[in-house]
Structure 1
Amino acid sequence: MKLSSLLQLIESDLLTDNIPDISISGIHFHSKKIQQNFVFVAISGYETDGHEYIEDAIKAGAAAIIGEKEKRELSVPYIRVKNSRNLLPILAQRFFDTGTKKHTIIGITGTNGKTTTSYMLRHILESAGIRCSLIGTVNNIINDELLPPSNTTPDPITLHELMYKSEDEVIILEVSSHGIDQGRVNGIPFDYVLFTNLSHDHLDYHGTIYKYFEVKAQLFNQLTHEGEAIVSNYCDWSRRLIDRLANAQKNVFSVGHQESDHMNLNNVNVEFSTEFDLKQAEQQHKVTLPLNGLHNAQNASLSFFTARRLGIPADQAVQALNSFPGVPGRFETYTHPSGATCVVDYAHTPDGLSHCFQTLKKQGAKRIFHIFGFRGNGDPSKRKEMINISSTFSDQYILTLDDLKGMDAKEMVNELHRLQDMYGNKKGTIIEDRTVAIQSIIQQTQEEDWILITGKGPESYKQAFHYPTSTDKDTILYNMETYRA
């Protein structure tokens, strides 16, 4: 591809004349990923400034540099633009030519439930013979191949490369608030945008929940003219979003308990399995979902209605939900030889944690033991509420380390002690090593006890712990093996 073609039709963003007519073989914003004849896009980041790595990019083979600071004397052409971050997704879309591909593109946003809803919807579509790519938190699935994820919403280069590689009919994309705010999905025309819910999360980044909501709502501006907004109407923020979209004359549909909703979720029973009815236009469909919890019935209602809008017959959608295999790290259960049940879940918000405890209570848990921690760079404003929830609903809880994200371990341990002293109670203790915390709880449990381990789900440990395991699931299985021995 020629550099002049890449930058064609974006003259308003350029602060440089005479774009050289040179051939380029790739584009990236990370200097360590630059190869011969790539274009390096220097971005003023939140933690580092890409302009400081321009010489490294040139040494790696960059044929040209795009940046937003004053022109520099370089050995390769330097193209100055107004905002390189905003331009990056446009360049990525143009380089990979994803704007001309004929996928049906579905975006899913919200605080909780994005991953489960995306997996449910993909399972329904694949069961109906529609090939479907998925880009999200747990895995990227492209042409039936599992690829490791980076963020919930990848950077624009990774995202458009994945879309370019996809030969599937449908692409489902989990869209985080960070992904929206940082422009990672800019320029993508969505055929459907789904909203799961909104609750306390990422307020360290957005400041207030009102600003958090405004960012989420922005995604619906990227719907195509005939695109559809489908809203899970189970929280107050959903009604606010529905009203806004209706006033903007968007094609908006909702699923929920209200008569005004286009489909109703009724008769939910989560005592043994999760059974519920879905009523649409006088037709009622009974679903028996292999997952536990009211929140999963809500996720299922959203995926079911979306599948129906895509033309999937109701009986096929019901059959697919009845056979849904679940999502790695989302309420995964393991029965310990002692008779206790261990649960691994990704819950990392107050709302998500509440749903987990409600589900355990409905399952008849005799005693509940909870193990959790906090991300090193996570939202500190939700920590007090999460400790309050755990201290209220668990019989015993342990605060332990999660992903430090560059934070010093001693600093995080001190933070755990501070939180426990201020907001905890006598049920709580602190064990720094996550694997030791899990092991110590399992050794105390007996039949009908439940052990809830939250925060990481299927994610690998980012630091070394005492026992030779790499995930919470591995730690449980390791304990089960040593228990039998």
Structure 2
Amino acid sequence: MKLCSLLQSIEVHEIQNHIPNIKVSGLHFHSKKIKEGDIFVAISGYETDGHQYIEDAIKAGAVAIIGEKNLNDIAIPYIRVKNSRIALSKLAQCFFGTKAKKHTFIGITGTNGKTTTSYMLRHILEKAGIRCSLIGTVANIINGEHYPPSNTTPDPVTLHELIQKSKDSVIILEVSSHGINQGRVDGLLFDYALFTNLSHDHLDYHGNIYNYFEVKAQLFNQLKHEGEAIISNYCDWSRRLIDRLTTERKNVFSVGHHEFDHVNLANVNVEFSTDFQLKVEEQQYKVTLPLSGLHNAQNASLSFMTARRLGISANHAIHALNTFPGVPGRFETYTHHNGATCVIDYAHTPDALKHSLQTLKKQGAKHIIHIFGFRGNGDPSKREEMVRISSNYSDHFILTLDDLNGTDPKQMIIELEHLQKMYGKEKGAVVQDRTIAIQATLKQAKEGDWILITGKGPESYKQPFHYPTISDKDTILFNTEAYGA
């Protein structure tokens, strides 16, 4: 693509140096990825400023630079824009030609349940013979091929490259608040926008929960004219969003416990599997979901409602939910040879943690040991509440290290010890090494014990631990005797 054509997709404030009819071969915002013929977009990030790497990009072969700052003495064309992030999204959409793609786009936002809902919905669609791509936290699935994820919502270059590859008719996209706020999905128009719930998370980034909600709500401004908002109406923030979107005369459909909801969730039983009823007008449908927990019944009701709006029959959607295989790292259960039950769950917010622990209780867990930690760059304001919840619902909890992400481990240990003293009393402990915490708990566990390990789900460890394992699942299955421990 020619540079002049590409620049027509963005609002340009100033151009330095003459722009010849340059052919552009690629687009990047990481200078180390630049190759001959690429454009480098300099972004003023939260940790580093891309403008500092302009010379590196030029040396690597960049043919033009796009940035926000007033800069002089750049040897190649420099295009100044108001917002580099927004420019990057529009440039990526233009470069990869995704605006002309005829996919049905489904965006899912909310604090918890995005991944499970997206997998449930994809399962229903695929069972109905509708090919479906999925872009999200656990994996990016395009044309049946799995690609490793980076963030919940990828950067615009990765996102539009994946969309370009997709030959599937539907694309489901998990949309995080960071993804919305940082312009990663700017320019995309959605046929359906889904809202799962809202609770305490990322307040270190957004400042307060009201700002957090406002960012989430922005997704619904990107609905197509005939697009539909589908809301999981199980929290006060959902009702607030429904009222707003209704006032804006958007097409709104909801699932919940209220009479005005289009699909009503009733008679939920999570003692063994998760049994519930979905009521649509005068019809009632019974679901036996292989996953445990009230929150998964809520996720299922949202995926059911969306499938119905896509034209899939209720009976087909119910059959698909009854055969749903689950999501990697979401309440994955393993039985240890000593009779203990291990559960790995991604829960990393107070609300999700409470749901996980309550689910264990309802499944008859008599003795719960909970192992978890906090990420070095995560929201510190939720940590105390998570320890309080664990102390209330578990019989013993162990605080351990998660991904440090540059945080001093000594400082994290000090915080963990402080939280343990606040809420642990006799039932809490701090074990710095995550793999030792898991393996030691397994060795001491007895038949009937439930060990809940939360925070990472299927993710790989980012730092080495004592045992040479790469994930919580790997640590559970690791043979320490063979290792010589």
Fold conserved between structures, TM > 0.5: yes
**Equivalence for 2:372:** 372
Residue identity matched to 2:183: G
**Equivalence for 1:447:** 447
**Equivalence for 2:352:** 352
**Equivalence for 1:58:** 58
- Distance between the aligned counterparts of 2:307 and 2:481, measured in 1? 42
Deviation readout 1:248-289 (Å, 9 max, x if unpaired): 100000000100000101111111110111111211111110
Alpha carbons 1:135, 1:171 under 8 Å: kept: yes
Residue identity matched to 2:61: G
Alpha carbons 1:391, 1:425 under 8 Å: kept: no
- Distance between the aligned counterparts of 2:9 and 2:102, measured in 1? 22
**Equivalence for 2:14:** 15
Query: Any idea what SS the aligned residue of 2:151 has?
Result: coil
Larger CA deviation: 101-110 vs 19-28? 19-28
Residue identity matched to 2:461: Y
**Equivalence for 1:429:** 429
Closer/same/farther in 2, CA of residues 13 and 210 from structure 1, 3 Å limit: same
Closer/same/farther in 2, CA of residues 482 and 452 from structure 1, 3 Å limit: farther
TM alignment of 1:42-53, pairs within 5 A: 42-53=42-53
Residue identity matched to 1:433: D
Query: Any idea what SS the aligned residue of 2:438 has?
Result: helix
- Distance between the aligned counterparts of 2:457 and 2:382, measured in 1? 19
Alpha carbons 1:16, 1:81 under 8 Å: kept: no
**Equivalence for 1:258:** 258
Larger CA deviation: 71-80 vs 108-117? 71-80
- Distance between the aligned counterparts of 1:76 and 1:177, measured in 2? 35
How far does residue 215 in structure 1 lie from its aligned partner after superposition? 0.5
- Distance between the aligned counterparts of 1:250 and 1:69, measured in 2? 38
Residue identity matched to 1:161: E
Residue identity matched to 1:16: I
- Distance between the aligned counterparts of 1:371 and 1:171, measured in 2? 35
Query: Any idea what SS the aligned residue of 1:69 has?
Result: coil
How far does residue 448 in structure 1 lie from its aligned partner after superposition? 1.3
Query: Any idea what SS the aligned residue of 2:65 has?
Result: strand
- Distance between the aligned counterparts of 1:398 and 1:233, measured in 2? 34
How far does residue 199 in structure 1 lie from its aligned partner after superposition? 0.4
Residue identity matched to 1:255: V
- Distance between the aligned counterparts of 2:246 and 2:481, measured in 1? 56
- Distance between the aligned counterparts of 1:106 and 1:441, measured in 2? 42
Flag structure 2 segments of 5+ consecutive residues without an equivalent. Answer: none
Question: What is the TM-score normalised by the length of structure 2?
Answer: 0.98
**Equivalence for 2:119:** 119
How far does residue 82 in structure 1 lie from its aligned partner after superposition? 2.0
Alpha carbons 2:278, 2:285 under 8 Å: kept: yes
**Equivalence for 1:100:** 100
How far does residue 66 in structure 1 lie from its aligned partner after superposition? 1.0
How far does residue 423 in structure 1 lie from its aligned partner after superposition? 3.7
Alpha carbons 2:202, 2:379 under 8 Å: kept: yes
- Distance between the aligned counterparts of 2:459 and 2:321, measured in 1? 25
Q: What is the alpha-carbon root mean square deviation over aligned residues?
A: 1.4
* 1:280 corresponds to 2:277: no
- Distance between the aligned counterparts of 2:9 and 2:403, measured in 1? 43
- Distance between the aligned counterparts of 1:403 and 1:8, measured in 2? 42
The number of residue pairs the alignment matches comes to: 483
Q: Which runs of 4+ in 1 moved over 6 A?
A: 480-483
Deviation readout 1:157-207 (Å, 9 max, x if unpaired): 111111011110000000000001111101100000000000000000011
**Equivalence for 2:4:** 4
Alpha carbons 1:108, 1:194 under 8 Å: kept: yes
How far does residue 87 in structure 1 lie from its aligned partner after superposition? 1.0
**Equivalence for 2:474:** 474
Residue identity matched to 1:331: F
How far does residue 13 in structure 1 lie from its aligned partner after superposition? 3.1
Closer/same/farther in 2, CA of residues 343 and 6 from structure 1, 3 Å limit: same
Closer/same/farther in 2, CA of residues 404 and 273 from structure 1, 3 Å limit: same
* 1:228 corresponds to 2:228: yes
How far does residue 421 in structure 1 lie from its aligned partner after superposition? 2.5
Residue identity matched to 1:104: T
- Distance between the aligned counterparts of 1:177 and 1:392, measured in 2? 30
- Distance between the aligned counterparts of 1:176 and 1:313, measured in 2? 30
- Distance between the aligned counterparts of 1:69 and 1:20, measured in 2? 22
Query: Any idea what SS the aligned residue of 1:13 has?
Result: coil
Larger CA deviation: 302-311 vs 72-81? 72-81
**Equivalence for 1:39:** 39
How far does residue 298 in structure 1 lie from its aligned partner after superposition? 0.4
- Distance between the aligned counterparts of 1:293 and 1:84, measured in 2? 42
Query: Any idea what SS the aligned residue of 1:356 has?
Result: helix
Residue identity matched to 2:33: K
- Distance between the aligned counterparts of 1:436 and 1:480, measured in 2? 10
How far does residue 441 in structure 1 lie from its aligned partner after superposition? 1.0
Query: Any idea what SS the aligned residue of 2:163 has?
Result: helix
- Distance between the aligned counterparts of 2:149 and 2:343, measured in 1? 23
Alpha carbons 1:13, 1:83 under 8 Å: kept: no
- Distance between the aligned counterparts of 1:424 and 1:55, measured in 2? 53
How far does residue 425 in structure 1 lie from its aligned partner after superposition? 2.4
**Equivalence for 1:336:** 336
Residue identity matched to 1:167: K
- Distance between the aligned counterparts of 1:224 and 1:481, measured in 2? 58
Alpha carbons 1:113, 1:196 under 8 Å: kept: yes
Residue identity matched to 1:13: V
